[in-house]
Homo-oligomer: A and B are copies of this chain.
Amino acid sequence: MLKKIADVIKKAKNVIILPHKSADGDCLGSAFALRLILEQTGKNASVILEEENPKLCGILFGTQPQALNGFDMAIAVDCGDIERLGNRREIFNSCPVTVNIDHHGTNDGFARYNYVDSNSAATGQIIYELMEFLGAVLTLEIANNLYVAISSDTGCFAYSNTTAKTHNIAAKLLETGINHSEINEELFGKNSMAKIMLMRDALNSFETYDDGKIAVVSITREQIKTSGAAEEDTGGLINLPRSLETAMVAICLKESLEDDFVKVGFRSNSVDVSEIAKSLGGGGHVRASGCNIKGSIESVKKAVLKATRKVL
């Protein structure tokens, strides 16, 4: 099946590659690796991004712009559905041949040729295998980009999506001499000043209940504004209460900037937190869920603790 996609791609001459909007490490690493692979096999290839100059481009190769006139193929990379192409949806649809390469199990196959492997930890893992079918040789530059992709989506091989195949591919990538520790430092070791301020504010609000079984942090809209934080800076704060060794349920309360609601996040390694969220009008997964509740942090906290204690 992947061989079939490779055969389709082999026929193209000018290819545009489209990673999803709000580009992350997997889609960027995959897209720029694919560009280098296609160029190595004698094609013209260009990556078109939704956002200008994503920060991660600093650790990727092949990111210099290349104007392409008259492309005959568009490849969507790491896009679960066509909406993820954002404003570039028209570019995609106007192409004579469209290809969709992805690892999201929910992918609806929106292109003419689709390859979706939800067993792949990252789309970068699929691009590695595609490279072999295309007859390209793994260079340090391609390996660097694929490592960014795979390490991003596996949390540096920590998450449960990592498989033996992921590690076998990583071994091949390291053999090229890439500086993997520097990549990981960039991917996971860096915080903005805004993020550090929010971590401080969250830790100052840190509370535990029921002998440490419940750990809660909260962030006010004033604190978010003062920090100058972007949405991505507020995302990981729930990892602070989650990291408490006694915590069975971690809760993060975040005042919304748009309305008078509080955004509530739940995490657990042992309790079904989707039940808690559902009982409060929200939803999500067994281990990660959330809901929005109107009110002050104090009143919402009261309601959330009551609902949490019902499942503990």
Q: Residues on A close to B: CB < 8 A?
A: 156-160, 162-168, 170-172, 174-175, 179-181, 184-185, 188-193, 196, 199-200, 203-204, 206, 208, 212, 239-240, 242-246, 269
Contacts and interface: CB of A to CB of B under 8 A. Distances in A.
Contacts of A180: 158, 160, 162
Contacts of A168: 167-168, 171
A190 B246 CA distance: 9
Contact of A157 (B156, B240, B242): B156
A158 B188 CA distance: 10
> What 10 pairs across the A-B complex have the smallest Cβ distances?
A200-B203, A167-B171, A160-B181, A158-B184, A164-B171, A167-B170, A191-B243, A164-B174, A190-B245, A167-B167
Given A167-B168, A190-B243, A199-B199, 17 more contacts: A156-B156, A157-B157, A158-B188, A160-B179, A164-B172, A164-B174, A167-B171, A189-B242, A189-B243, A191-B245, A193-B244, A196-B203, A196-B206, A200-B203, A200-B204, A200-B206, A203-B203
Instruction: Tell me how many chains of this kind the complex includes.
Output: 2
A298 to B, nearest CB: 20
Nearest to A55: B245
A138 to B, nearest CB: 12
Contact of A244 (B160, B191, B244, B269): B191
A242 B156 CA distance: 19
Contact of A171 (B158, B165, B269): B165
Contacts of A212: 193
A103 B250 CA distance: 39
Given A157-B170, A170-B157, A181-B159, A244 B206 contact: no
A251 B206 CA distance: 25
A171 B172 CA distance: 12
Residue of A167, A168, A188 most packed against chain B (CB within 10 A): A167
A48 to B, nearest CB: 27
A47 B61 CA distance: 48
Contacts of A190: 243-245
Nearest to A170: B167
A239 B188 CA distance: 12
A82 to B, nearest CB: 31
A229 to B, nearest CB: 14
A296 B241 CA distance: 32
A203 to B, nearest CB: 4
A189 B196 CA distance: 18
